Amino acid sequence: MSSSRLIGVASSKDYWFLRDRVPWAKVLGLITGLEVLLGDLYVVDKEALLKARTLQLEDFSKKFEWEDCVYVEVKKSITGIPLGVSIDYRGCGRRPSALGEFLEESKRLGLWVLEYQGNPFVDVYSGKPDKSRVLKLVRRLLGVERIYYFGDSENDLPAFQEADVRILVLNRYNKHLVGVLNFDHVVEYGSLARWLRVEFNS
């Protein structure tokens, strides 16, 4: 792809997960938009930061009796403050017994809960998750006029609404999104590299 194009990543993952995996990214939208790295600029959602300091999300997630098949991922800010928790139970083959109590208590505490239809994981955040923040910052600060956005889950909906060209990337878990998201193109994950070559090298 041409070096004149600005390539960024907007992910539910944190900086510590992504930093060595996407060294080419000029923009990083982290923890579903709660943090943004744009060159030397660092932006963090104030509400999320304040609530996270009060609630201590990592300690909160440890209060529940998770089975061995459950992977609990704590999503930390660049400064090390937990802003989110992901409960991944793909290894269980069923819904964990502690999940209902965890979600109920999360909502009672005023946390933002994201559940994904057909997906064996849930996310909980200390602030409102919104990947469109990343796109808005790129427009305002860098003057980018045309944004292509690739998404594959419900948490991409706000960014899809902000983007100029919306590409839904299909995988084994998200076929239902064809009837949910407003998109311009739909691409199977296995065909994405070829689609990019055709679209941007033509």
Give 182's DSSP letter.
Answer: -
Distance from C-alpha of 131 to C-alpha of 30, rounded to nearest angstrom: 8
* pLDDT tens-place values along the chain, 202 residues long: 445 688 999 999 999 999 999 999 999 999 999 999 998 999 999 999 999 999 999 999 999 999 999 999 999 999 999 999 999 999 998 999 999 999 999 999 999 999 998 889 999 999 999 999 999 999 999 999 899 999 999 999 999 999 999 999 998 888 888 988 889 999 999 999 999 989 888 5
Letter for the amino acid at 87?
A: I
How many CB atoms within 10 Å of residue 11? 22
Strands 82-88 and 121-125: antiparallel
Strand blocks (E) in 4-137? 8-10, 27-30, 35-38, 41-44, 71-76, 82-88, 112-115, 121-125
Q: Where are the domains of the chain?
A: 46-125
- Give CA–CA dist 87/12, Å, rounded: 12
Q: Rounded to whole angstroms, how far apart are CA atoms 114 and 131?
A: 13
Position 100 scores a pLDDT of 97
Strands 148-151 and 121-125: unpaired
Q: What is the pLDDT of residue 1?
A: 46
Amino acid in the structure at residue 125: Y
β 71-76/82-88 pair status: antiparallel
What CA–CA distance (Å, rounded) separates 20 from 88?
22
DSSP-assigned beta bridge partners for residue 121: 88
